[in-house]
Amino acid sequence: MNQYGKVLTDVTLNDRFWNRFRETLVREGIPYQWKALNDQLDADAEPSYCMRNFRIAAGREKGDFGGFVFQDSDIYKWLEGVAFSLRWHPDPALEAIADGAIEAVAEAQQPDGYLDTYYIINGLDKRWTNLKDNHELYVAGHMIEAAVAYCQVTGKRRLLDVAIRLVDHIDSVIGPEPGKLHGYPGHPVIEMALMRLYGVTHEEKHLRLAKYFVDQRGQAPLYFEEEDERNQNRFFWRDSPLRYRYYQAERPVREQKDAEGHAVRAMYLYSGMADVARETGDEGLANACRDLWESATRRRMYVTGAVGSSEHGEAFTFDYDLPNDTVYGETCASIGLVFFARRMLLLEPKAEYADVMERALYNGIISGMQLDGKRFFYVNPLEVVPEACEMDAHKRHVKPQRQKWFGCACCPPNLIRMLTSLEEYVATGAGDTVYVNLYVGGRIREGGLSLNVETNYPWEGDVKLTVTGDAPWDGKLALRIPGWCGDWTLSVNGKAVKAVPCQGYAVLEGPWKSGDVVELRMDMPARWVRANTRVRENAGRVALQRGPVVYCLEEADNGPSLHSVRVGTEARAESRWEPDTLGGVVTLTTPGLREKADKPETGLYTFREAPDAEAVALRWIPYYAWANRGVGEMRVWIRA
C-alpha cells in the first residue's frame, strides 16, 4: 500500500510562459510530428518508417522493416502526448487521428498478445532472444504508458486492452519461475510503465512484474552474458570501459552507488525503482534511489539540468567530468531526470528534487525544441563553435542548429509528452499537506482545497495564491523556496508571516477559507554561478542565472570569437523585458572585456604581454532560446 506522497492531478494550467510552448505544440508540433511518423516531411528530413512498419505488420501493405529496432516507440510517445493534450485542449479531429493510429497498432498484435513490428516483420522465431539490445521491453513500456494515458483522458480502452494482452504475454515468457527467461530490459522504461498500469488495474501481477525487473537486474549469473552465449548475440560494449555499466547491469540495483552508463536508461531505471520502492515500502530500494540521485545531481549534472556528459554511449563518465563543447546532454535524459525528480518528491517532500526538476524544465528540456515547434536538438551543448561541429570528429554529434527530424527520433515525441503533461508536476500531496513544487499559473484542487495561482514566473518572482471554494480546508500549504532564491517574504491576507523552511518548503498552517490570499515574493536578481572547483572545464569561468533560467552569450548579439570575452563579476546585470525578442524574454546586459584579435602576421606563439582588450556591453539571452536566429557561436560559461 502506498504510504508516501501522491501526484495532484486536478490541476489546470493558465500560465503565460508555458502556454506559449504548449500551444505551439498543439498547433504546430503535434501535427508536424504526425507527418514525420508517416514520412511526409521534406525529402531532406530523415525518414521515420514508424507508421509504415505498423501497416506492414498488420498486413495492410507489403515491404521490409525500416528504421531502428525501437521505431515503434515513437508513435507510442506521440500518442501519450496527444492524450495529455486532449485533457486541456479537446480536439475531435486530432482524437480521430489518434484513434486511427491505435487501430493500426491493434491490428498488428499477434494472437498470443505479442506486439513488436521489428520481429513481426522479420521473423517471430527470433523474438525474446536479445533483451539486451533489441528493445522489445522498452517498446512495450512506451506502449503501456500511452495506453494508460489515453484511457485515463478519453475513457477509451482499445489501446489499454492491447497493452494488457501484451503484458500477459510478457508475463508468460519472462519471470523467476522455471521455464521462463530470467531476463530484464537492456533499455529500462517498462518498470515505471508497469507501475502506471498497476495504478489503473490494481492487478498484483503488474506490480510483481515491475518489481521483478528491478530486483533481477544485475544479479549473478548475469543474464545478458548467458543470453549472448546462447543466441550468439554481439556485445557492442565488450571493449569499452562501460561494458555492462552501459545497461546499469554490472551489479544489482541496491548495490549501485553512482549514476553510470547510458543516461536515459539510467533515469528511466531510477524512476521505476522509486515507483516500486514507494508502492512496496521498500526502504532499502529507496535508499539506493537516494544514493543515485545524489550522484547524478550533485556530481554529474550540468547547470542546465543536462545529464550524460559523453558521446560514447550517451553516458555518464565520472564525478565532475562536465565538458561544455563535447557534452551529450540528450533531451530525453533531462526529461528522464524530471521523471526521477517527481518520483523522489513522492518518496519524501524535499525541495532539492523540485529544484532540479525546475532547472531541467526551464533550461535543458525546452532547449531541445525550436520556438516554432518544428526543429529539435538531440544533443544540448553549453558551448558551440559551428566550424568545430563540422570539422572536429569528436564534436560531430553537436549541432549548431536544430534538425527537422532524426532517424533515432526519441526526443521530439518525448518533448510532447513531457510538456503536455506538465500539470502532473506542479503539486504533490502527503497527509494533510499540499506541496506547491512549481510556480505555474493556474488552479490546483485537492480535497476541499481550490487554489488559484497567479504569477509571471520565471520572469518575475511574485506568486499570489488565492483560496476559493465554499467549505473551509484545515490542511497545510507548503510553498517551495527555490534554491536560487536568497531573499523572500511571505504574507497571508496582507500580513507578513515568518516561516522557517522545512526541507526547503515554507509550511503554512490552516484552516483556510475562501478569499484567503497567500503572497510569496522572491527577489530575482541575476546572479553569477561558479562550478565546484573539481569541475576542470569551468575553472576560472562563471555562468549567469536569473531565477531558474540559465543564460548564454550568442554570436547574434555579441559577435564571433566568444572565447575572447571576459566578464567582471562585481558588476550587477541589468535586466530588460523584450516582448518582441525570441517570443518574449528577459534579456540581461553586463559589462565585459573583449580581447582584440591578433593580426594575421602575428606568430602562433609569442613572448608578449597579455593581449589588449576593449570594454564591451555583453547581451545575454535565456539558454533555452539559443539557435533560433541562425547559426553562430554560443557559450554558457565565460571567463571571469
Catalytic residues: 314, 410
Distance CA 406, CA 404 (A): 7
Distance CA 220, CA 599 (A): 64
Q: Which residues contact 230 (CB under 8 A, 6 or more apart)?
A: none
Asked if residues 68 and 408 have their Cβ atoms less than 8 Å apart, the reply is yes
Asked if residues 224 and 236 have their Cβ atoms less than 8 Å apart, the reply is no
Place of cell 518575475: 460
The three grid cell numbers given for residue 634, joined into one nine-digit string: 554560443
106 Cα distance to chain centroid: 29
DSSP per-residue codes, 488-542: EEEEETTEEE----BTTEEEE---B-TT-EEEEEE---EEEE---TT-GGGTTEE
Distance CA 307, CA 348 (A): 23
Place of cell 494472437: 111
* Three-state secondary structure call for residue 480: strand
Distance CA 409, CA 266 (A): 19
Q: Which amino acid, one-letter code, is at 46?
A: E
Asked if residues 470 and 36 have their Cβ atoms less than 8 Å apart, the reply is no
* Three-state secondary structure call for residue 633: coil
Taking the chain, what is the end-to-end CA distance rounded to the nearest angstrom? 53
* Three-state secondary structure call for residue 94: helix
The alpha carbon dihedral of 47, 53, 54, 56 has a sign of positive
Q: Phi first, then psi: give them for residue 446, nearest 5 degrees.
A: -155, 115
SS (H, E, C) 362-405: HHHHHHHECCCCCCECCCCCCEECHHHHHHCHHHCCCCCCCECC
Closest CA to 194 of 183, 184, 215, 208: 208
* Three-state secondary structure call for residue 274: helix
Distance CA 200, CA 174 (A): 22
Distance CA 237, CA 466 (A): 55
Q: Sort strands 6-7 and 495-497 into parallel, antiparallel or unpaired.
A: unpaired
Closest CA to 638 of 526, 581, 554: 554
